[in-house]
Amino acid sequence: MSLLHSFANAILMSVGPEVDEEIMVKLVIIVLIIQLTMSGVSPACGRAEYRIGQECCPMCGPGYYVRKHCTEFSSTACVPCLPPTYTDAPNGLASCKSCTVCDSSAGLRVKRTCSSTSDSLCEHLEGHYCTDPIKDGCRGAVEHSKCSPGQYVKQTGTVSTDTVCGDCVGDTYSNGSFTSCRPHTREREVRPYLQQRYSYNRD
């Protein structure tokens, strides 16, 4: 390496002021290439390539993965992803990604089925709300809370929020499904009605 550096430095030192500017630029580029080569730094690969050793290999397209990396004499060998796997972008992966499972025990159902070029997309089950939202979908959901007897539904649950319950106070009641508490029917208001109905039935 020291010999090459000495050679490069000798080139730069030997040129005089009369050397054309274009030639000078070319000499500098040559020196830089020599230095990069000897330091083990390789030029960056293109946007549609990935690096394996000293090679810049062409990426596989969406829906494919790398079965065999490229060499100096051959291109990348790509094969299709098989269900339930996918790749959604150009890649240099040695295997496809596993599709997301929309698990009903996690409060989820399938919104979009997995394909070779896109992952599954899940959404919340009916009667559930999403606790882990993502773009256009959900990764986790919980069943809406149910209000207990003596409580009323203060705020109905939505796709992103749980049900809010309120307690009945005073002389009111709810079976847990009412949206407001109802007053208890007073005995003195009911008794005349029952007496009147009893008399009518006897006649």
pLDDT score at 153: 98
* Comparison of pLDDT for 25 and 176, the residue scoring more: 176
Fold of 51-142: Tumor Necrosis Factor Receptor, subunit A; domain 2 (2.10.50)
Q: Is the pLDDT of residue 173 over 90?
A: yes
pLDDT score at 26: 72
* Comparison of pLDDT for 165 and 24, the residue scoring more: 165
pLDDT score at 29: 76
Euclidean distance between CA atoms 142 and 163, whole angstroms = 11
pLDDT score at 1: 45
Structural contact between residues 175 and 185, judged by C-beta atoms closer than 8 angstroms: no
Average pLDDT over residues 196-201: 47
Q: Is the pLDDT of residue 194 over 50?
A: no
Q: Quickly state the pLDDT bin for 185 (edges 50, 70, 90).
A: confident
What DSSP designation does 160 have? S
> Left, alpha or beta for 54 (phi > 0: left; psi -120 to 50: alpha)?
alpha
Q: Quickly state the pLDDT bin for 43 (edges 50, 70, 90).
A: confident
Structural contact between residues 70 and 81, judged by C-beta atoms closer than 8 angstroms: no
pLDDT score at 58: 98
Q: What is the pLDDT of residues 6-22, one digit of tens each?
A: 555 565 566 555 556 67
- Per the listing, tokens 């020599």 go with 34
What DSSP designation does 156 have? -
Q: Is the pLDDT of residue 201 over 50?
A: no
Q: Is the pLDDT of residue 24 over 70?
A: no
Phi then psi for residue 66, to 5 deg, are -85, 120
Q: Is the pLDDT of residue 52 over 90?
A: yes
Let me know if 41 is exposed, middle or buried by CB neighbors in 10 A (0-12, 13-18, 19+): exposed
Q: What is the pLDDT of residues 61-88, one digit of tens each?
A: 999 999 999 999 999 999 999 999 999 9
* Domain positions in the chain: 2-39, 51-142, 151-202
